[in-house]
Amino acid sequence: MTDPSYQGQILSLTTPMVGNYGVPDRKTLDEFGLPKYFESDKIHVNGLIVQDYSYHYSHWNAASSLGDWMKEQGVPGLSGIDTRMLTKKIRESGALMGRIEVDLDAPAPDFSTIQNANLRHLVDEVSIKEKVVYGKGNATKVIAVDCGMKNNIIRHLVKRGVELTVVPWNYPFASEMHLYDGLFLSNGPGDPTMCKETIEELEKVISCPDDQVKPIYGICLGNQLMGLAAGGQAEKLPFGHRGQNQPVLNHQTGECYITPQNHGFVIDCSTLRPGWKTLFTNANDGSNEGIAHTSRPYFTAQFHPEAASGPTDTEFMFDTFLEACKKPMDKITFPVRKPPPPRPDVKKVLLLGSGGTSIGQAGEFDYSGGQAIKVSFSL
């Protein structure tokens, strides 16, 4: 809900029950001065739709209910909706225009008069307005273009020894690249073609002389901006990729990663200029998940390696980027996982299940049972 990439959207959750964990303290900050438990300083969704809302919350880290947090920020929520049915409609028709009405007697809305969020400059709405520096004094200097950057990206880079200078989406960063070891392009909402100033600056950077080359790494919208600067075209997906378990193929190593994703646009790799190649591909629909330059240290990921929230398969990409910042002339390489351990020779298996409870209400028990099975195999 605090991911800036959701700016201008109504979010519908298929999880059967929402709100039973409550919400952490909004005032608690981490060591970098960022909200410790959130991806930005506010809710970015325009509304939340759930099936069952729990008015009673219980969690060691909770400071308030979900409803109270949404009231604080003026964000409406709607419960008692068959969100799985709604999801099926979206799957059949693609992303839909939506509106939450509180007047039961209100006439059906005229959607032709409602502004399409994709026609707004959503990046301009969420990007910072002034330059900010994190990890001041750290050895590796990176400039990051904020198109709606998640806090966990900042955490990952600064924890790895980066002095991170974050600038607005339309900042003239090309003229300052000599001051930095690398360039980072963040995630963000909406149509990437609206970021004309960013694309123009990026075109200058990627076409610089060989002796001025600096590594570039982009995530999500950053991938799309890199693709546009490389001559490619962006296309809107019917309903986007939004979830925590999207399989992605690495063309360099042949491995498959499980990734969290949140995007509605994609780059058509067939339109890229010579010198660029497909780096990652979505195993479900074959759409692009990242590109790379064939000779320079420029690479991107359409998914979210910062893994908040989601699997951590691809966190290594931050290390890959920072290694390139130290050795910009070396070829970009990704680590190959260790081979899986040999299959155990067993005759019997004890399977622990959650029993006859409702779906979605025994997550902790299922997880504990899974961990117990893993431990038993390792003994």
Question: What is the maximum alpha-carbon separation in the chain?
Answer: 67
- The residue assigned the tokens 């600038």 is 167
The answer to whether the CB of 40 falls within 8 A of the CB of 166 is no
- Strand, coil or helix: 261: strand
To the query of whether residue 220 is one of the catalytic residues in this protein, the response is yes
Distance CA 246, CA 302 (A): 11
* DSSP-assigned letters across all residues of 32-91: TSSBTT-SSSS---SEEE-SEE-SS---TT--B-HHHHHHHTT--EE-S--HHHHHHHHH
Neighbours of 307 (CB within 10 A): 17
For helices 196-206 and 221-229, give the axis angle rounded to 10 degrees.
60
Q: State the virtual CA torsion across 368, 369, 370, 371 in degrees, nearest 10.
A: 50
* Beta carbons within 10 angstroms of residue 320's beta carbon: 18
> Catalytic one among 147, 220, 269, 325?
220
214/174 Cα distance (integer angstroms): 11
The DSSP secondary-structure symbol of 6 reads G
Which residues partner with 10 through β-bridges?
A: 47
Query: Which positions are catalytic?
Result: 220
